[in-house]
Amino acid sequence: RKEVEQDPGPFNVPEGATVAFNCTYSNSASQSFFWYRQDCRKEPKLLMSVYSSGNEDGRFTAQLNRASQYISLLIRDSKLSDSATYLCVVNLYNNNDMRFGAGTRLTVKP
Protein backbone atom coordinates (compact mmCIF):
# COMPACT_ATOMS: atom_id res chain seq x y z
CA ARG A 1 0.00 0.00 0.00
CA LYS A 2 1.31 3.43 -0.91
CA GLU A 3 1.88 5.82 1.94
CA VAL A 4 -0.14 8.56 0.29
CA GLU A 5 -2.83 7.66 -2.21
CA GLN A 6 -4.89 9.85 -4.47
CA ASP A 7 -7.42 9.22 -7.17
CA PRO A 8 -5.40 10.06 -10.31
CA GLY A 9 -8.45 11.30 -12.19
CA PRO A 10 -8.65 12.95 -14.57
CA PHE A 11 -11.51 15.03 -13.32
CA ASN A 12 -13.12 16.95 -16.17
CA VAL A 13 -15.59 19.53 -14.94
CA PRO A 14 -17.36 22.55 -16.41
CA GLU A 15 -16.63 26.05 -15.26
CA GLY A 16 -18.51 26.90 -12.12
CA ALA A 17 -18.68 23.32 -10.87
CA THR A 18 -17.71 22.20 -7.40
CA VAL A 19 -15.15 19.42 -7.30
CA ALA A 20 -13.66 17.49 -4.41
CA PHE A 21 -10.49 15.44 -4.15
CA ASN A 22 -9.61 12.97 -1.45
CA CYS A 23 -6.28 11.68 -0.31
CA THR A 24 -5.59 8.85 2.13
CA TYR A 25 -2.44 8.28 4.12
CA SER A 26 -1.26 5.11 5.78
CA ASN A 27 0.81 6.35 8.71
CA SER A 28 -1.35 7.37 11.63
CA ALA A 29 1.58 9.23 13.17
CA SER A 30 1.65 11.73 10.31
CA GLN A 31 1.91 15.25 11.62
CA SER A 32 1.17 17.81 8.97
CA PHE A 33 -0.65 17.92 5.69
CA PHE A 34 -0.65 20.05 2.57
CA TRP A 35 -2.09 20.47 -0.87
CA TYR A 36 0.26 21.52 -3.66
CA ARG A 37 -0.67 22.52 -7.16
CA GLN A 38 1.41 21.59 -10.19
CA ASP A 39 0.81 23.03 -13.62
CA CYS A 40 1.86 21.07 -16.67
CA ARG A 41 5.66 20.96 -17.00
CA LYS A 42 6.07 23.26 -14.01
CA GLU A 43 7.22 22.87 -10.44
CA PRO A 44 4.80 22.17 -7.57
CA LYS A 45 3.67 25.14 -5.53
CA LEU A 46 2.00 25.19 -2.14
CA LEU A 47 -1.74 25.71 -2.41
CA MET A 48 -2.63 25.44 1.24
CA SER A 49 -1.79 23.73 4.48
CA VAL A 50 -4.45 21.54 6.04
CA TYR A 51 -5.30 22.16 9.68
CA SER A 52 -7.09 19.84 12.06
CA SER A 53 -10.10 22.12 12.28
CA GLY A 54 -10.32 22.51 8.52
CA ASN A 55 -9.47 25.71 6.71
CA GLU A 56 -10.68 27.80 3.84
CA ASP A 57 -8.91 30.09 1.40
CA GLY A 58 -11.33 31.75 -0.96
CA ARG A 59 -12.88 29.07 -3.15
CA PHE A 60 -10.70 26.34 -1.65
CA THR A 61 -11.53 24.36 1.47
CA ALA A 62 -9.27 21.73 2.99
CA GLN A 63 -10.27 19.24 5.64
CA LEU A 64 -8.49 16.61 7.68
CA ASN A 65 -10.03 13.48 9.13
CA ARG A 66 -7.44 11.88 11.40
CA ALA A 67 -9.67 9.01 12.44
CA SER A 68 -10.12 7.87 8.87
CA GLN A 69 -6.70 9.11 7.77
CA TYR A 70 -7.74 11.20 4.85
CA ILE A 71 -7.60 14.78 3.74
CA SER A 72 -9.78 16.48 1.22
CA LEU A 73 -9.73 19.51 -1.02
CA LEU A 74 -12.92 21.17 -2.20
CA ILE A 75 -12.89 23.70 -5.02
CA ARG A 76 -16.02 25.77 -5.49
CA ASP A 77 -16.97 27.76 -8.58
CA SER A 78 -14.19 26.19 -10.68
CA LYS A 79 -12.28 28.45 -13.02
CA LEU A 80 -10.42 27.53 -16.19
CA SER A 81 -7.25 28.55 -14.37
CA ASP A 82 -7.81 25.84 -11.76
CA SER A 83 -6.82 23.23 -14.34
CA ALA A 84 -3.75 21.55 -12.89
CA THR A 85 -2.59 18.52 -10.98
CA TYR A 86 -3.21 18.64 -7.24
CA LEU A 87 -0.71 16.88 -5.02
CA CYS A 88 -1.46 15.68 -1.54
CA VAL A 89 1.56 15.90 0.78
CA VAL A 90 1.98 14.36 4.20
CA ASN A 91 4.79 15.12 6.61
CA LEU A 92 5.74 12.17 8.77
CA TYR A 93 6.87 12.70 12.34
CA ASN A 94 7.41 16.44 11.85
CA ASN A 95 10.96 15.73 10.74
CA ASN A 96 10.61 17.09 7.26
CA ASP A 97 10.04 13.64 5.81
CA MET A 98 7.55 14.69 3.16
CA ARG A 99 5.60 12.11 1.20
CA PHE A 100 3.79 13.06 -1.96
CA GLY A 101 0.78 11.50 -3.56
CA ALA A 102 0.93 10.87 -7.29
CA GLY A 103 -1.52 13.71 -7.90
CA THR A 104 -5.05 14.22 -9.15
CA ARG A 105 -5.45 15.86 -12.49
CA LEU A 106 -8.20 18.44 -12.91
CA THR A 107 -9.36 19.95 -16.19
CA VAL A 108 -11.94 22.72 -16.06
CA LYS A 109 -13.71 23.24 -19.37
CA PRO A 110 -15.67 26.23 -20.68
Contact residues toward other proteins (CB under 8 A) are 4, 8, 32, 34, 41-46, 49, 87, 91, 96-103
Nearer to other proteins, 2 or 66 (CB): 2
The nearer residue to other proteins, 103 or 108, going by C-beta atoms, is: 103
In angstroms, what is the minimal distance from the CB of 106 to other proteins?
16
Whether 106 and 8 have beta carbons less than 8 Å apart is answered as no
Closest to other proteins by CB, 37 vs 63, is: 37
From the CB of 43, what's the least distance to other proteins, in Å?
Answer: 4
SS (H, E, C) the chain: CCCEEECCCCEEEECCCCEEEEEEECCCCEEEEEEEEECCCCCEEEEEEECCCCEEECCEEEEEECCCCEEEEEECCCCHHHCEEEEEEEEECCCCEEEECCCEEEEEEC
| Least distance from other proteins to the Cβ atom of residue 54, Å | 18
Q: How far is the CB of 27 from other proteins (least distance, A)?
A: 14
Cβ proximity to other proteins: between 6 and 78 the closer is 6
